[in-house]
A and B are shown apart, each in its own frame.
Chain A
Amino acid sequence: MLHLLHKPLEAQKPSRRTFLKMSAGAVGGLIIAAKMPNAAKAAAGADEFVQPFVHIRPDNTVVVLSKHLDKGQGTANGLATLVADELDASHEQIVLALAPSNPQLYANSLFGVQGTGGSTAIPNAFMQYRQAGAAAKAMVVSAAAKEWGVPAGEITISDGVVSHASGKSATLGELAGLAANEDVPAEPALKTPDQWVYIGKSFPRKDVKNKTVGAPNTYTIDFSREGMLTATVARSPRFGGTVKSFNAAEAKKVAGVVDIFQIPNGVAVVAESTWPAIKARDLLEIEWDDSAAETRSTDEMMTELKDMTTKSGLKVREDGDVDAALDASAKVMEIDYDFPFLAHGAMEPLDIVGEFDGETAQFWFGSQIPTIDHNVASTILGIPFEKVSINTLWAGGSFGRRAQGDAHPVSEISFLLKAMREAGMEPRPVKIVWTREDDMAGGYYRPMSAHKIKVGLDGDGNVTAVKYNIAAKSIIKGTAFEPMLMPNGVDHNMTEGASDTTYSFPMMNMDQAFQETPVPVLWWRSVGHTHTAYVMETMIDRIAKETGKDPVALRLELLKDDPRKTNVLKLAAEKAGWDTPLPEGRHRGVAVHKSFGSYVAEVVEISIREDDTVKVEKVVAAVDCGVPVNPDNIRAQVEGGIGYGLGAILRNQVTLSDGYVEETNFDTYESLRMSDMPEIEVHIVPSTDSPTGIGEPGTPPIGPAVANAIAAAKDKWITSLPFTKAGLV
């Protein structure tokens, strides 16, 4: 599947330039993007105020366009909070919208292309959206001043009402057309934090109402176009397999099937609606060419990974002669860990709608990296970039699944649209639906990985050196992101959270090795931190146990150079009553981790059931993510991040047998459910630092915190995941 996309990307000039721009890095991008939002001046005479991020309509609604995909993390509402605050709009009049693909207007200033990921939405847009709101406000005020013949400095806006002491007043909507004719201020004055009315306080989510009434056209799977067809695709059951031959005679007999096409990664069944497309696909007879496919089991792949960790690899961090330091240590602890493939299992399986008339193409879906999707579609269809439009729809979850560097959904539908056209079909829109099995058995997993650590201790129990070897398939290598993210051949996505630890070890070396396999891998909520945090934080508890120290005290000792981590750790410990005795049968564990710029400490309380399985009863989390833009949404993200991580740690793994995926739906890949969910308390550190990520940072600490609690209860260290393997779930 991967090969399919890399070719068009490499062959295409504009995309090459785009990625060069990406590698130019964050600094240049930031400056340009920050200046961009108010670039265009609206046409004179319009009664609407239209700027890239803010539209003020005559009906007095204020539309805030989110340049980031909202897949549940509350980004659209978060960005609207920033605009509403600076503009002094009312909560009621705000309408959320998702911006279409347009790299000039909507680039992520940290990526250089339009894209959502790495918990960057609020961090990269914090100034930009506030400036957009402030510029709109300045233009409205200036228009009102002219209209009323009063000094601009005497005009105020509050809760969406523009007013002057003379008694004159108007709504934002009434002034929209006039404001559109004002000059866009280059440096609009921003509020000081004490003037904020929503930021750091409350701005309830505006997308909730639609999501409680089953509103139409919210998600891609619900989206419909006149005359739209529905397609399913039979893809190789082994990763890297291709179609050798197929027989569609039986499938074609199913009522409602329109036609069947071979496309590069499979066979597409095109039908009038979903059910015939699903039913007919089961009747296809396909012979697959597995000559380049992965045919190993995950056990075999893990053996290879473990072997890789016994050898030296690429140097990620090298403080000194770690082997000598270990040799000179009084004691060396050696621990091996292994982590499985994980599917994202977003609630809405993948889907995409597209149409193509030979000259222009349109797509509708939850596109997480629209600039890549846009380039890929234009390359495959052979039409200019400007002739492609991508409309962004709300996504029913993603957790990284929709951020494919290879744009495989848009690639697949583009090939299908092309095939339909070449077959002489009248142009009709088509929606490709992934079933749960397609989604779950389709790869793009959190990579499986093996880790080997050696920790040296001196006679007093102090750490002398840490040697850390990790092996996994690289998410980045071989993708369009490689030039930007692996400039010297090292994949930091794999080692983040370990190689950059702020624990003050006298010496730490870290090596990495890359597994080669056709199984596509991808970012999964918190990426490398999903495994490195587990290793680092259980390692600390093992050192504490070995040296007879308290886990919190040992962390504080080793974190003397990291005041923010220290702070969240102390806060979580205090709120959880770390030093107070627990009721009979309860056990505590702790972990603290920094990811995506944010600091999260979690103290868990578990009980052991009569059948010896573990129940996580309670989690107390402390979070420092800079300015807390929307505190309730931060709590929601931490709650969800904990639940997501907990479900995976307890019982999730994707295994292969002879290359075939064994867990293909929620019956075998068992999700966290209501009865598993602990009570969660989230404490947010007040801060004036720039806001940092929150979609992911709640996830990494939960696994090790629970593992540490289990060790406290049963003196059993779990090093092979998920916990089901140890019979604890």
Chain B
Amino acid sequence: MSVTLKINGESRTLDADPDSPLLWALRDELGMTGTKFGCGIAACGACTVHWDGMPIRSCQTMVGDLEGAEITTIEGVNGKAAKAVQEAWNELDVPQCGYCQSGQIMAATALLAETSKPTDEDIDIAMDGNVCRCATYARIRKAIHAAADKMEA
């Protein structure tokens, strides 16, 4: 079966089993490996991408459901919030192993696009689905606040 959708603004056609998760189509079919596999059951957030700007878990989003969808991945995410987030991540040396960070950045970007000045509680709610086994959470929190300040400036 083939599905046509937009990925990072470009129209792409995926020839894949409709039950195949978007995650593996991105990684294996399109060679876009920035989106990571962590659990496969929507429990870790490593595979987070945006669907119409909303953060979703690509490991539990099936290709068959994506006709006409607009998907953004870490490779293509841009705009004010994304830029501020990536800058803050670099300035605060957030990543350790880095494996979760594509997902963290996608989740944080979606949060800031929605809520420009998030509270700690907003951060807890928006980011609790994204596991970081290196436990970089304290820096992620600081970086989200720093990114919010950048967006304001």
Contact = CB atoms under 8 A, between A and B. Distances in A.
Interface string B64-103: 0000000001110000000000100110011111111110
B114 interface: no
A533 B23 CA distance: 41
B133 interface: yes
A672 interface: yes
Given A204-B93, A347-B133, A665 B139 contact: no
Nearest to A74: B96
Given A221-B36, A224-B31, A667-B43, A212 B105 contact: yes
A118 B37 CA distance: 28
Interface in A560-583: none
Contacts of B52: none
A636 B34 contact: no
Interface in A231-268: 255
B150 to A, nearest CB: 14
B136 interface: yes
A212 B137 contact: no
Contacts of A255: 17
Nearest to B44: A666
B124 interface: yes
B40 A636 contact: no
A644 interface: yes
B135 A214 contact: no
Contacts of A213: 34, 74-75, 86
Contact of A636 (B96, B124, B128): B96
B27 interface: yes
Contacts of B36: 219, 221, 347-348, 396
B35 A349 contact: no
Interface string A400-441: 000000000000000000000000000000000101100000
A205 interface: yes
Contacts of B123: 674
B109 to A, nearest CB: 11
Given A213-B74, A221-B37, A255-B17, A639 B136 contact: yes
Contact of A71 (B25, B29, B90, B97): B97
B100 to A, nearest CB: 5
B24 A396 contact: no
A166 interface: no
Interface in A275-300: 275-276, 278-279
B134 A72 contact: yes
B44 A671 contact: yes
B153 interface: no
B138 A397 contact: no
Contacts, number: 190
B24 A275 contact: yes
Given A208-B94, A347-B46, A674 B128 contact: yes
B-side interface size class: 35 or more
A230 B90 CA distance: 33
Interface string B115-153: 000000001100110111111111111000000000000
A48 B46 CA distance: 40
Interface string B1-42: 000000000000000110111001101110111111111110
Interface stretch (A81-89, A326-334, A675-683): A675-683
A17 interface: no
A128 B99 CA distance: 30
A639 B124 contact: no
Contacts of B73: 214
Contacts of B33: 214, 216-217, 221-222, 224
B39 A211 contact: no
Contact of A345 (B27, B133, B140): B133
Nearest to B107: A674
Contacts of A674: 123-124, 127-128, 130, 137, 140-141
Contact of B134 (A209, A632, A640): A640
A396 B135 contact: no
B24 A636 contact: no
Given A396-B36, A636-B139, A667-B41, A346 B97 contact: yes
A129 interface: no
Contacts of A632: 93
B98 A394 contact: yes
A32 to B, nearest CB: 31
B98 A273 contact: no
B28 A644 contact: no
A274 B24 contact: yes
A52 interface: no
Contact of A665 (B43, B46, B96): B43
A666 B43 CA distance: 6
Contacts of A217: 33
Contacts of A647: 135
A661 interface: no
Contact of A640 (B19, B39, B96, B127): B96
Interface in A446-497: none
28 contacts: A72-B98, A208-B95, A212-B98, A212-B105, A213-B74, A213-B75, A214-B32, A224-B31, A230-B28, A276-B17, A279-B17, A345-B133, A347-B99, A396-B36, A397-B133, A398-B97, A436-B38, A640-B96, A640-B136, A642-B135, A643-B137, A665-B39, A665-B40, A666-B43, A672-B137, A673-B128, A674-B130, A677-B135
Closest 7 CB pairs of A and B: A214-B34, A643-B135, A396-B99, A72-B97, A211-B98, A214-B74, A72-B96
